[in-house]
Structures are given as C-alpha cells and as structure tokens.
C-alpha cells in the first residue's frame, strides 16, 4: 500500500511582525478602474475595521474509504482577550495611517467633518457602534465579527458590498447600507470631490485546508491578517460612479500576537474517534460509512500590546497596497 505523504510547513513565530506574501493569487481585484481617472481631491466617509472573534470552518467531505474515516471536519475557533479599547485603538491608528499614506501619495484629503456636516447626510443614520455582524465565510463556514469606526467619526456607515452577512440580522444593515451609499454619492456630486469608503476585516487565524484525500482535516495556525474578499476600498467619484479595489489574497503578518491552544475536551475527542472508526468499519463491510467527522475547538488568547501592533501592521500593509493601486488609476 502506498503511503500518504503530507508536508507541513511551520513558520517560526517572530517577535516583530513579518509580512506573509501570497504568491499564488492576484493580490487585488479592480472594478470600474476608469472611473477613478482624474480624481485627486477626496474625503474619507467611512473607515471600518472589523475583528473576527469566532469562526466555524468546515472542509468538504472526501469520498470513498477516506471519506468514511475522515468525514466532514470542523474547526471552531474563538479569540479571547481583545477589549473594546484595544479594537478602538487599532482602528484609530489604522485610520490615521491611511490618511497619511493617502496624502503622501498625492491626494488632497478634505476633513471628514465637511462631509458629515453636509445636508446630504442629514437623514443618514449611523449603524450601531460597535457593529456586530454574523459573517458568511467560505462555503460551509461562518463567523462573528465586530466593527469599529474612527473615534473622530460621528457615524459608522457601510455601503453595499462592505460585508457579507448571514441570517435575518443582516437585512436591516443592508437597508441602511443602501441609504448610506446614496447619501455619500449625493455628497460627492454636490461637493465635487471623491468619497472614499474603506473596510478591513482582521482575522486571528489562518486556515490551511488539505487535499481531498488527506486524513489531516483542517489545520489552524495563529497569525493576524486583513482578510481577502472581505476587505476593500471604494472610491465614489464626483460623477456618482465607483472604483472598487478588493483584497484577494490575505495581507498577513506573523508574530507573537496570540497563543493557540486546543480547547476540545478529551470526552469529545474520544466520542468522535469511536464514531469515526465505527463508520469506517461499516464502509469496509459494504454498509456505507457514517461520516461523523472531527470537530476541534481552538482557543486563541491575544497578547496585549503585541496584538494591537500586529493588527495595525496588517492594516498598514493593506492600505499601502490599496492606495498604491488606486493612485495608478488616476
């Protein structure tokens, strides 16, 4: 019988943040690139940083005998030790850095107060602050995130596409997002300036999914990243059109930001092991396999100071990439 070989690359955790480059994916996706041409004066109307606190990630079932023994694998991860004060500090730091980079790249940045004091936004209601959203992640996976705005902003605004919510709770948020988009567009037209909307989603773990015939299941590693697909910058032009640049490969940093531990109880592991063996024997006997799978719980405990540094670094790297791409569209 041929042996199944698997190679696991473990990155050393360093004291200082180190960027992790994604080589197999395009870093961004750009929609409406031509719309950004000639826009040099902007104001930031929304800058929201979300933090994933809980995620349930599920791999697809594999077929045949491997599927009978492996089945569907779930990893339930939870982040603890991050306070509202820490999240607010990260958001404020990321916003100040974003404006600084925007200015350094040649944009004239008008005060956000000009926008929020305009009649176009008079009837626009803020989302709850902080804003909790059930996030739809990859197929079969879900998570919970909390979003913060800069302290200097009177309102937390989102526009359609800024988040991928799941469940009935996101219906009201979607309605408000549509109203906010209209208000920001009206301001851009009336004031003759571009309006920038930014959203970053900070993840505390990196999931590495094995191939279809691996017994390994989901592997969860601790790191911090600005998530792909859930992080983007939108420019609403004075003409009312949009240029959207979406992060397509996670902007990650590795360091001593969190401590990971297996929070699964011994009883849970024993019951799952017994059920999976029984299902596999049933498959061998020709009765079909019962795919109970493996469920593992992981606890991630944030290290104060280090966590804020890592999250702010990831946001800064994302800003550098997005602003750089936006600048080339002018």
227, 250 Cβ separation under 8 angstroms = yes
Residue 294 to residue 275: CA distance in whole angstroms: 10
Report the C-alpha gap between 231 and 207 in whole angstroms: 17
Q: Is residue 290 part of a domain?
A: no
Looking at every residue in the chain, the average pLDDT score rounds to 79
Asked if the structure places residue 281 within a domain, the reply is no
Q: Is residue 67 included in any domain, yes or no?
A: no
Question: Are 303 and 224 a contacting pair, CB within 8 Å?
Answer: no
Assess if residue 110 is contained within a domain. Answer: yes
Higher pLDDT, 57 or 11: 57
DSSP string, 195-230: EEEEEEEEEEEEEE---TT-SS--EEEEEEEE-SSS
For residue 213, pLDDT over 60 is answered with no
H-assigned helices in 31-169: 64-70, 84-104, 112-116
pLDDT of residue 170: 76
Q: Has residue 5 been placed in a domain?
A: no
Look up the domain containing 312 and give its range. Answer: 32-58+79-264+303-328
Task: Evaluate whether residue 280 is within a structural domain.
Answer: no
Has residue 180 been placed in a domain?
yes
Instruction: Report whether pLDDT(41) > 70.
Output: yes
Say what the pTM is: 0.79
Residue 64 covered by a domain: no
Residue 112 has pLDDT above 80, yes or no: yes
Q: Say what the pLDDT of residue 198 is.
A: 98
Look at residue 255 in the predicted model and tell me its pLDDT.
84
The answer, yes or no, to whether residue 216 has pLDDT greater than 50, is no
CA distance 155 to 120: 14
Q: How many domains does the chain have?
A: 1
Burial class (CB in 10 A: 0-12, 13-18, 19+), 242: buried
Beta pairing, strands 41-58 & 108-110: parallel
What pLDDT score was predicted for residue 24?
Answer: 54
What's the pLDDT score for residue 138? 65
Q: Which pLDDT does position 3 carry in this prediction?
A: 37
Instruction: For residue range 220-244, list pLDDT tens digits in order.
Output: 666 789 999 999 999 999 999 999 9
What secondary structure does DSSP assign to 111-148, as a single string? -HHHHHTSGGGTTPPPPPSSEEEEEE-STT-EEEEEEE
Dihedral of CA 183/90/51/73: which sign? positive
pLDDT, one tens digit per residue, over 145-188 is 999 999 999 999 999 999 887 766 678 898 999 999 999 999 99
Q: Which helix (H) or strand (E) holds 190?
A: helix 170-191
248-289 pLDDT, tens per residue?
Answer: 999 988 888 888 877 664 444 444 444 444 444 444 444 444
């Amino acid at each position: 019988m041929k042996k199944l070989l698997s190679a696991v690359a473990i990155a050393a955790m360093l004291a200082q943040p180190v960027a992790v480059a994604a080589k197999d994916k395009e870093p961004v996706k750009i929609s409406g690139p031509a719309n950004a041409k000639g826009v040099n004066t902007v104001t930031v109307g929304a800058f929201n940083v979300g933090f994933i606190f809980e995620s349930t990630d599920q791999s697809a079932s594999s077929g045949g005998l491997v599927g009978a023994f492996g089945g569907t694998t779930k990893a339930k991860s939870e982040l603890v030790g991050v306070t509202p004060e820490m999240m607010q500090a990260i958001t404020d730091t990321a916003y100040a850095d974003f404006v600084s980079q925007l200015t350094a790249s040649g944009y004239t940045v008008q005060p956000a107060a000009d926008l929020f004091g305009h009649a176009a936004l008079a009837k626009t209601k803020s989302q709850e602050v902080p804003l909790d959203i059930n996030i739809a992640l990859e197929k079969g996976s879900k998570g919970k995130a909390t979003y913060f705005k800069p302290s200097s902003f009177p309102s937390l605004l989102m526009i359609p596409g800024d988040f991928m919510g799941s469940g009935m709770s996101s219906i009201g948020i979607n309605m408000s997002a549509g109203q906010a988009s209209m208000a920001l567009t009206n301001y851009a037209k009336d004031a003759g300036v571009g309006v920038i909307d930014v959203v970053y989603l900070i993840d505390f773990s990196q999931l590495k999914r094995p191939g279809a015939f691996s017994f390994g299941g989901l592997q969860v590693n601790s790191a911090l990243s600005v998530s792909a697909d859930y992080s983007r910058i939108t420019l609403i032009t004075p003409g009312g059109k949009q240029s959207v640049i979406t992060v397509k490969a996670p902007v990650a940093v590795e360091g001593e930001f969190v401590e990971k531990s297996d929070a699964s109880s011994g009883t849970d592991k024993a019951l799952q092991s017994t059920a999976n063996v029984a299902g596999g024997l049933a498959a061998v006997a020709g009765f079909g396999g019962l795919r109970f799978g493996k469920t593992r719980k992981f606890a991630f405990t944030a290290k104060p100071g280090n966590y804020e540094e890592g999250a702010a670094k990831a946001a800064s790297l994302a800003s550098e990439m997005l602003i750089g791409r936006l600048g080339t569209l002018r």
